[in-house]
Amino acid sequence: MTDTEQLTAETRDEAARAGGSAVNTPVAGGRSLWADAWRELRHNPLFWISAVLILLIVLMAVVPQLFTSTDPTYANLSTARTPPNRAHIFGIDNQGYDIYARTIHGARASVLVGLGTAVFTLIIGGFFGLVAGYAGGWLDAVLQRIGDIFFAFPLLLGGLVFLYTFPSNPGDPFIEMVAKIILVLTIIAWPQTARVMRASVLQVKPSDYIQAARALGASGPRIIFRHILPNALGPVIVIATINLGVFIGVEATLSFLGIGLQPPTISWGIDISNASGIGLVRAAPYMLLFPSIFLSITVLAFIMLGDAVRDALDPKLR
């Protein structure tokens, strides 16, 4: 065998061993990165606690009838401010609504906003970060400067400015109000995901299996989607999971301030706002307590899940 043939064979073997993706790249013990991460997650109590909480929250959002048969839009003023009892375990608010039913049905708006914003920021930010990290040069510089413009707006402040300028009105379709909040938060939040993806791509791009793929004549799109993207996706998934809880909290804050979702939409932020008057806090603290608890648990569950996934995907933390 000539030296050239031997070099070509070694290069082909190296590319085959690399496997071309995070799914196939072997790590210690012969497992892939994702298989090794799943093994770590299975033994992490934090993952199971957050997963169970998120499953319950998603069920509340998708099928609230599993948890209550009470109509959350039915008001009976004669029973207003009734404390928690056997018939109404969370009590009745000052307008005669059942607090438990509204707390259960309020999960839908928060989950839709959080999940929708997380998905769109993952797609848009991931795409721009992937292009910037792989192409480099002037295109990278332009995309980074565009991202810096949106970084000038803190997430909550930017949401306040945009939604105050283009407000939703009471009686607007539910999907329209949710879509508007998703759009605003996505526009402001995508640069963070883009930067994480760009940094991950820059870390993966010099790897030996990428160079081997280029030596074998792989095209740019094949290198990006077959080799770089699967290996660079882990940190982006982690940040998207953590941000999902952040987006839910921001939506509740905007609704609390009266510029997010509008009545008659049922939302934790709206219910917390309705219960936040000084007189109501003193006379009926349960009106504020239960929506706040459910909101806090939801945000905490997604942040805990993101932390667990981060620990599993980062070998240095193990």
Give the mean model confidence (pLDDT) for residues 288-298: 93
Q: Is the pLDDT of residue 22 over 60?
A: no
Q: Is the pLDDT of residue 33 over 90?
A: no
Domain boundaries, the chain: 3-317
**What's the pLDDT at 99?**
94
Give the mean model confidence (pLDDT) for residues 265-289: 86
Give the mean model confidence (pLDDT) for residues 116-123: 94
pLDDT band of residue 51 (cuts 50, 70, 90) is very high
- Please, what is the average pLDDT of the chain? 84
By mean pLDDT, which of 29-43, 129-143, 202-216, 236-250 is the weakest? 29-43
pLDDT digits (tens, 9 = 90+) for 71-106: 999 988 888 888 999 989 999 998 899 999 999 999
Give the mean model confidence (pLDDT) for residues 243-258: 91
Instruction: End-to-end CA distance of the chain: give it in Å, rounded.
Output: 44
**What's the pLDDT at 32?**
65
pLDDT digits (tens, 9 = 90+) for 120-171: 999 999 999 999 988 888 998 999 999 888 888 888 888 888 888 888 888 8
Give the mean model confidence (pLDDT) for residues 222-229: 81
The CATH code of domain 3-317 reads 1.10.3720.10
pLDDT band of residue 204 (cuts 50, 70, 90) is confident
pTM for this structure? 0.83
Q: Is the pLDDT of residue 14 over 50?
A: no
